[in-house]
A and B are shown apart, each in its own frame.
Chain A
Amino acid sequence: MSTADEKSRKAAAQPSGSIPTAEEGPAPADTAGGKVMAFFFIGLAASLFVGWIVFPKLLYSQKKQPIDFNHAMHVQEVDNGCESCHFFRPDGTFTGIPKLDKCLECHEEVQGDSAEESRFVNQYAQKGKEVPWLVYAKQPACVFFSHVAHVRMGKMDCAACHGNIGESQHTRVYEQNRISGYSRDIWGRNISGFKRHTWDSMKMADCAACHKRAGVHQTSVQTGKGACFVCHK
């Protein structure tokens, strides 16, 4: 009962209270509107700053590779370019980052005067321990990627997707997404998703777009796009 009384009292008081403010004129209302707009734009700028600059900085942790690998120097030393170490096995699977035994073909003893190499030989090669490389391109377990389909059938060279990694003298910082655990290379550095190079991002949409351009059969009944089992397992 008391609440109903209060309501009726408020309702009675309101018209008398609102009339004087309306008579004060339009000028204060304008400044109030301006303030609202100013706050809106400050808020927008602040949230864009947080969302586009602060959040990505917080989202990714920075990790160093266990060994600072020099691609440029190795490419000069080997005969067969990339395929000297990253090659296809006879069953069509791809070696990816080579295992220790491949490195041991040359590095049983220290070859040069690089500090990184002697660290590799002492810490890994002589102990028979695999190097725990951080894989920039690591995809979730449900993703199937066939290198041979792209390299042999698609006639793409390594640089088409990997860029000029063969000329790099140091390994990049591996930025790991703190939430998903995957590398920043998957989403890409540009948080808005725009890309200029093939390797700028490696999401499902990137696979699908390139497959469509390259004429991979779009045979899915549900979507009319590429079938799921082309890239999933």
Chain B
Amino acid sequence: MEAVNRRNRAKKYGMVIDLDKCTGCGSCTVACMAENNIPFRKDESDKLLSIAWLHVYKLTNGKPFPHTDVCYLPRPCMHCEGHHGHSPCVSVCPATATDYDEETGIVSQIYTRCFGCRYCMAACPYHVRLFNWWDPVWPDGMEKMLNPDVSVRMRGVVEKCSFCYHRHQRAMEKAYLEGRRELEEHEYQTACTQACPAGAITFGDLNNPKHAVYRLKKSPRAFRLLERLGTRPKVYYLSSREWVRQAGDNHLQQEKQKI
């Protein structure tokens, strides 16, 4: 019975990103685009129309030299837990195209189910959801290099970061073949985690004390984006800089006390 309970214990996959380590190189975005068959256009200058599941933002403290400070902030989907899995996007989706899995804590997006109303994009406070205004067009020959584990999206649907869930599916297949139902920490890692040259991204099960993220999320440097909205994101950020932690919750300059 104990074994059964342990087997059924819910996972809560999450990420911890150390902003003090991030150099803003953008490797995570590139790895993500290649891994997840993310479409691109010839002219990507209009960022409102371009698609990147993991976007690197540049934050500045707004102070003049020599006190200027810059922080790069990679932003995947936060996979918000909300209250009992009712993350902002899941609550509003009228098509059941986006869903919260209580077993893994991952917010799924099913492209063939989505009809493109974009309520989820309006509901998401993190701008992680992106709309396909066009069918993807790949340069000649590139369609042969697409990842077969990730389905390509069509025009008129919303897409977002899945925490590379297909890697979980693949890892589970190997585990099943070896007669296991549990994954080792290294067996399921996202593409951005593995691509980061600075080792700023850590990924794992936030409920599992053996995983690095379990310890890191309790760090005094840890914070989450827009925490006061109650979305309960599963992506944690680490920074030793007070202004970065403040920016994470979008505090107003004239705000007297931190909420």
Instruction: Name A residues whose Cβ lies closer than 8 Å to a Cβ of B.
Output: 88, 90-93, 140-142, 144, 146, 148-149, 152-153, 217, 219-223, 227-230, 232-233
Contacts and interface: CB of A to CB of B under 8 A. Distances in A.
Contacts of B172: 92, 146, 149
B103 A217 contact: yes
A222 B181 contact: no
B150 A233 contact: yes
A146 B173 contact: yes
Interface of B: 8, 10, 84-86, 90, 93, 96, 98-104, 106, 108, 110-113, 149-152, 162, 165-166, 169-170, 172-179, 181
A219 B108 contact: no
Contacts of A232: 108, 110
Given A146-B169, A220-B100, A233-B165, A91 B86 contact: no
A221 B177 contact: no
A91 to B, nearest CB: 5
B152 A222 contact: no
Contacts of B149: 144, 233
A222 B100 contact: yes
15 contacts: A92-B174, A141-B152, A142-B112, A142-B151, A146-B173, A148-B176, A149-B172, A149-B176, A217-B8, A221-B84, A227-B104, A228-B113, A229-B106, A233-B149, A233-B150
Contacts of B90: 221-222
B110 to A, nearest CB: 5
A221 B174 CA distance: 27
Given A140-B112, A144-B169, A146-B169, A220 B177 contact: no
Given A227-B101, A228-B108, A221 B173 contact: no
A222 B92 CA distance: 10
Nearest to B169: A144
A233 B169 contact: yes
A179 to B, nearest CB: 16
Contacts of B111: 142
A229 B108 contact: yes
B170 A228 contact: no
B73 to A, nearest CB: 27
Contacts of B106: 229
Nearest to B181: A153
Contacts of A93: 170, 173
A227 B104 CA distance: 10
Nearest to A152: B176
B99 A227 contact: yes
Contacts of A148: 173, 176-177
B258 to A, nearest CB: 31
A233 B166 contact: yes
Given A141-B152, A217-B8, A233-B149, A228 B173 contact: no
Contacts of A90: 174, 177
Contacts of A217: 8, 103
A175 to B, nearest CB: 23
Nearest to B95: A222
A3 B168 CA distance: 73
Nearest to A91: B174
